[in-house]
Amino acid sequence: MKKISRRKFVHDFGLGVGSTAVIASLPSFMTLPENSKNSYDGKKLNIVLCGLGRYAGYLAEGLEVSKYCRLAGIVTGTPSKALDWGKKYNIPEKNIYNYQNFDEIIHNKDIDLVYVVLPNAMHKEFAIRAAKAGKHVIVEKPMAITASDCQEMMDACKKAGVQLAVGYRLHYEPYNLEMKRLGQEKVFGQVRLIETSLGYNTGDTIDWHSKKALSGGGPLINLGIYCVQASRYILGEEPISVTAQFGPVTNKIKFAEVEESITWQLNFPSGAVCNSASSYNCGVDRLFASAEDGFFELSPAISYGPFKGRTSNGDLNFPEINQQQTQLDEIGKLILENKKLPSHITGEEGLKDVTILQAIYEAARTGKKVSLV
């Protein structure tokens, strides 16, 4: 993932993309000062990363430059990772847990929030355990593998009086925020058609993503959730029905348990249609919306960037951001101020997405249109 310093951000923003339209649509959090790690003297939110896979590394990088959060602890089942991360990030031994002794975190007053970055099927267990320990929770998307699991997580957090968020980083990303604005404000009129796809070639690698018991599914639940999100936040509507089709299987060993690729079509109350695809056998990363009086699109659109966008009126130019830092700072600031998190990143939002994902799978299995109302 390409990173950008705050000095370069300010320079690019001031000299390269300083148009009135861009300035008006940039979110307020993008005005944080350079070297924010050292410029804020107040309390920081102490975060534990639960699960130390690839994405946890990106989160750790974001936490290193965060204004409102710090990496205070880790949870891992691999002793060598515990040792390496402890040394690299100067984590005290008392803040290093494994999956067996995790519940002891209830006694650790130096921990405020647990960020669950485990395989999808483990999200529910550790979110609930964290909530019972009195810690706020962020879970990576998808929130869980079933809607009922999502509801259990929400109930546990509510009972414990802690906040629950889902790691929807694109809700803080400038290009995707612009897609949302253009669609919901009907800048080019009513959006009629959305096409959004995300996929990459995973080769012959077999890991937890290929194991249904851990992943809950294949590229749909891992990548397609971003496409579902994009259609919903561009239109500001909830889909009313879906049809779907599984793609062919070219690697029967790797994809014995989960789909290799899938396409689906969401129908919305306004009459808009969203055609989408997600795949583990090819690379694609695009978002296109056609409205009554024009179009807007991103490609790349959903990954870690850098993004590229244009509309029927010309190119879009926004500065790159550290997506993980920005997301964490926005969440951390609100929790430190004892404020509620915005609805678009809470458990309720996660539940909506998982409900739609389950309906897409049902439609693909049965070959029938599935109602979502």
On whether the CB atoms of residues 189 and 292 are closer than 8 A, the answer is yes
DSSP for residue 189: B
Distance from C-alpha of 361 to C-alpha of 217, rounded to nearest angstrom: 9
Of 102, 107, 46, 52, whose CA–CA distance to 71 is shortest? 46
Out of 124, 141, 180, 254, the active site residue is 141
Which stretches does DSSP call E strand in the chain? 45-50, 69-75, 96-97, 113-116, 136-139, 164-166, 191-199, 241-246, 261-267, 273-279, 284-291, 294-298, 309-311, 314-316, 370-371
Burial of 273 (0-12, 13-18, 19+ CB in 10 A): middle
Residue type for position 248: P
* Cβ neighbours of 67 (radius 10 Å): 21
Contacts for 352 with CB less than 8 Å, ≥ 6 apart: 232, 238
Does the annotation mark 172 as catalytic? no
Q: What are the φ and ψ backbone dihedral angles of 59, each rounded to 5 degrees?
A: -65, -40
- For 121, what's the count of Cα atoms within 13 Å in the CB-facing half-sphere? 11
67 is catalytic: no
Choice among 115, 226, 233, 361 that is catalytic: 226
Catalogue the active-site residues: 141, 226
